[in-house]
Chains A and B, each alone.
Chain A
Amino acid sequence: MINLTINRLKVSVEEGTTLLEASRFYGFPIPTLCYDEGLSPYGACRLCVVEIGDEKKAKLVSSCTYPAEEGLRVRTASSRVVGARKMILELLLASCPQSKIIQDLASAHGIRQQRFRQEYEDCILCGLCVRMCEEQMMAKAIGFRGRGENRSIGTPFDIKSEVCRLCGGCIYVCPACQLRCTYTEPENAICGGCENLSPPCLEKERFDNMMCYMDPCVSCEIRKR
């Protein structure tokens, strides 16, 4: 067993446990987008960062890929961690505002605005689908291509894959394409799907049952145009 402290709580976990598993086991929530219990950790979304080490040598690492070490001191919600998470969520909202999961996470972290140029991308390249296809479905039909801003997920040469069994596993795990919010399209601005969340756009009377976490509101911005 390995002994470490998480948020000053002394805990012990089995060898090979990651910091994310340990933290969640002891009840410290850590948000993730690219992690799934049945798949190997990847460390792409960086939302799960935690702070380890002391003072000057303290650094942020992705908890899903970092193994628990003897005597390690982990902080899952220090101001540095929360600040980084907020910036990552802001970037996610700026690129992929339609994902309900991302919206909920942003709302839960109190993000009320995003300061970047709005994009409407469908994929956050978390790689869950790639790992699902490879590790659980044993198909390896899709994979990453390109690098940097040209990185994308697909089949080789965009030809329909022969090994794909159309199982839908990739769609099932996708955090960006399930529960798609459509309010960013002006013609169906209100779907009502997020009514149970706060805070709503109170100042916009015409959209009183719409929940929008951004300032300026993406939907309103589109209307204006």
Chain B
Amino acid sequence: MERLKTVDDFKTLQDRLLAERDPHIPTIVIPAGTCGQASGANDLIRVAKRELLRRKLLEKVYLRITGCHGFCEMEPSVLVEPRGTFYPKVSLKDMVRIVEGVARGEVLEELLFLNPQTGKRIEKQNDVPFFRKQLRTILSQNEQIDPIRIYNYIETGGYAAMVRVLVNGEPSYVIDEVKASGLRGRGGAGFPTGSKWELLARQVNGTGKFLVCNADEGDPGAYMDRSVIEGNPHGIIEGMIIGAYGTGATEGVIYVRNEYPLAIKHLIIALQQAHELGLLGKYILGTDFSFDIRLVRGAGAFVCGEETALIRSIEGKMGEPRQRPPFPVQKGINGKPTAINNVETWANIPVIIRRGAQEFAKVGRRNTGTKIFSLVGKIRNTGLVEVPMGVTIDKIISDIGGGPVENAKIKAVQTGGPSGGCIPAKMFNLPIDYESLTKVGSIMGSGGMIVMDENTCMVDVAKYFMNFLKDESCGKCFICRKGTQRMYEILDDISKGEGAVGHLDLLEELAYVVKDTAMCGLGQTAPNPVLSTLRYFREEYLEHINNKRCPAGVCKELVTFLINEKCTGCRTCVRSCPEEAITGKKKERHAIDSEKCTKCGACRSLCKFDAIEVS
């Protein structure tokens, strides 16, 4: 790779890449993010490569390996461009046929996506309901880019926004654009990004300023940041370079959690390529602007996503938050002014510059732009969805998510991870924006969205999050450390049927004190799961306390497993029981010995006849 010395060099390279590109050559796109690889995308890639070699199709059919496209439920999937044919859940044998089909220009009807509502097959990816109802500004780039090839990024318009900023030569242009776009931090708190950068640009400190990309994504069930980095690392780098130009920052840090090995690998490759091309480092593209980015790996603490703890972690100290003020923008890494933004915020910056702030601001109601959510839990289509700000929860769950799994009724959705709250189904017409979510006791958070149906016990949910938080609280503040432990203790008692009437008041009182007095964001939002479930699902708590009954059949101490008359005596459950608690002869109704039963649920998940009841 030859180093680009001037802006004109870059434009020549970009023109050359565009000229060489032939959009009519069919391309097999295989998403191979962490989720894709886990479901077998690597094997598909191997088969596809082998078939392409064997049939001597290298010049006629291209293969592109990309990051996650978002529809994780249907992975491993294959997309064939330029037609946009979408094949879900592809097996190795199917892959061979797909390669054959692509070479002949055919569409394999029987492998296409089957719409469960209409029973019809859908060919084009963009016609699949899951994709059709989204607005995929950030995620759609994942389809077009091979994350380990910088030329691939440049030919799809990458780094052009950076060049535009460099040519413009006016740092205030960047800040004005970002401010006009109305972009707000995608990490959760929703602080206007433009204002944050303006504060940083105003800081006068001769020794340098820092920009940080916060990729320490730790919410259970949330993985948008991982997918964005894995699929489009150059987008983050470009965003940071633009940000540095606008704010006068000299050093950048990407703080990635070490549990994301693929994201780290792609980032290292991307950083190296950007360096080699002269897009990063000293005198970028021959201008007098220098900016460098280094990678710091998180050591596995959830609290390090909090900005002051993150700064300490980057400095090599223990990840503990500290009091703000002074804010990081005044005193950050090594005492120098620092602005910290989330991965998704950075990914939005090149989009804003490329399309213009006015265009960007047209998207969304109340807040601008799009937001990626990771839709998981008891829902048909799990995956990453990108929607304009201000759409209703119902639209995401019913239209994009495809509604509940089987016949269970959806009860609530949990947004914002452990710091967020549960929103009951009756409020699903709520638009998703920062203010509305805060008003109902939840938060936007980084974008986790866990769907719960009637088989989910809300006490158990609150207990799960409190268990997570009592382990992940840094332990500095007494109230956060002990408060989360005590809340867990009370919830545990309630779930075991040992709850007392006074417990709920005590829980509430304690939760409000923790919210009030903790130092950092983690502690201040830690009681949200408890408070929101108490607010909307109090009767479930009372059912546990007064009647010692778990309506959802989840809390082990409060349920018993029974075999009803539907039992055909197939002995599947007898064999599956690890405690040998089920007895019965073949073709006769079996019985569970409740003394031995540990309520593991193995029998229930295997029974084909719905014969195992939980009451």
A residues at B contact (CB < 8 Å): 42-46, 49, 59-62, 65-67, 69, 80, 83-84, 87-88, 91-92, 94-95, 115-117, 124-127, 143-144, 146-151
Q: Bound complex: CA of A151 vs CA of B478, how far in Å?
A: 11
Instruction: Evaluate contact between B323 and A144: CB separation under 8 angstroms.
Output: no
Closest to B513 in A: A87
* B16 sits at the interface (CB 8 A): no
B483 at the interface (CB under 8 A from A): yes
A80, B470: Cα distance in complex, Å:
25
Residues of chain B lying within 8 A (CB to CB) of residue A115 = 502, 506
B471 lies within 8 A of chain A by Cβ: yes
Closest chain B CB from A53 CB (angstroms):
13
B481 within 8 A of A: yes
Whether the Cβ atoms of B323 and A61 lie closer than 8 Å is yes
Cα–Cα distance between A176 and B510 once the two chains are bound (Å): 23
Q: Are B486 and A116 in contact (CB under 8 A)?
A: yes
Q: For chain B, residues 500 to 517, give those with C-beta under 8 angstroms from any C-beta of chain A.
A: 502, 506, 509-510, 513, 516-517
Q: Which of A66, A87, A94, A151 contacts B481 (CB 8 A)?
A: A151
Tell me whether B165 is interfacial, beta carbon within 8 Å.
no
B502 touches A147 (CB 8 A): no
**Which residue of A has the minimal Cβ distance to B326?**
A67
Given contacts A62-B519, A148-B472, contact A46 B479 (CB under 8 A): yes
Q: Would you call B303 and A147 a contact (CB within 8 A)?
A: yes
A-B contact pairs, 30 of them (CB 8 A): A42-B476, A43-B323, A46-B517, A46-B518, A61-B323, A62-B323, A62-B519, A65-B322, A65-B323, A65-B519, A80-B516, A91-B510, A92-B478, A94-B482, A95-B482, A115-B502, A117-B489, A124-B478, A125-B475, A125-B478, A147-B303, A147-B472, A147-B475, A148-B470, A148-B471, A148-B472, A149-B471, A150-B471, A150-B475, A151-B475
Asked whether, in the complex, the Cβ of A149 is within 8 Å of the Cβ of B513, the reply is no
* Bound complex: CA A98 to CA B125 (Å): 67
CB of A90, distance to nearest CB on chain B (Å): 9
> Sorted from nearest, which 8 A-B pairs have the closest CB atoms?
A151-B475, A65-B323, A87-B513, A148-B471, A46-B479, A148-B473, A60-B516, A46-B517
**Complex contacts, A94 vs chain B, CB 8 Å:** 482, 486
Whether a CB of chain A sits under 8 angstroms from the CB of B440 is: no
Give the interface residue-count category, chain B.
35 or more
Compute how far the CA of A44 lies from the CA of B321 in the bound complex, rounded to whole angstroms: 11
Q: How long is the Cα–Cα vector from A88 to B481 in the complex, in angstroms?
A: 11
* Contact present for A148 and B475 (CB under 8 Å): yes
Extra A-B contacts (19), CB below 8 Å, given A147-B475, A149-B485 = A42-B476, A43-B322, A43-B323, A43-B477, A44-B476, A45-B478, A49-B516, A49-B517, A59-B516, A84-B516, A87-B509, A88-B517, A91-B486, A115-B506, A147-B473, A147-B474, A148-B475, A149-B475, A150-B475
CB of B519 to closest CB in A, whole Å: 6
Chain B nearest Cβ from A174, distance in angstroms = 15
CB proximity of A78 to chain B, nearest CB, Å: 11
Shortest B614–chain A CB gap in Å is 29
Residue on A with the closest CB to B468?
A148
A54 to B476, CA, bound (A): 28
- With beta carbons under 8 angstroms apart, the residue of A69, A88, A150 that contacts B478 is A88
Given the known inter-chain contacts A49-B517, A116-B486, please indicate yes or no for A87 contacting B510, CB distance below 8 A.
yes
Q: A116-B486, A151-B481 are in contact. Are A43 and B516 (CB under 8 A)?
A: no
Interface contact A84-B517, CB-CB below 8 Å: yes
Smallest CB gap from A115: residue in B = B506
- Complexed CA–CA distance, A113 and B475 (Å): 25
Query: A46 touching B506 by the CB < 8 A rule?
Result: no
Residue of A nearest to B476 (CB): A44
- Cβ of B325 within 8 Å of any chain A Cβ, yes or no, is yes
Report yes or no: B471 in contact with A116, Cβ–Cβ below 8 A: no
User: Is B301 at the interface (CB under 8 A from chain A)?
Assistant: yes
Contact pick for A88, options B320, B479, B506, CB 8 Å: B479
Q: Are B477 and A91 in contact (CB under 8 A)?
A: no
Contact B489 A43 (CB under 8 A): no
Measured in the bound complex, the distance between the Cα atoms of B419 and A116 in whole Å is 24
Chain A residues lying within 8 Å of B517, measured Cβ to Cβ, are 46, 49, 60, 62, 84, 88
Q: Does B318 interact with chain A (Cβ within 8 Å)?
A: yes
- Pair B474/A83 contact, Cβ less than 8 Å: no
**Do B477 and A147 touch (CB < 8 A)?**
no
What is the bound-complex CA distance between A94 and B490, given in angstroms? 14
Closest to B473 in A: A148
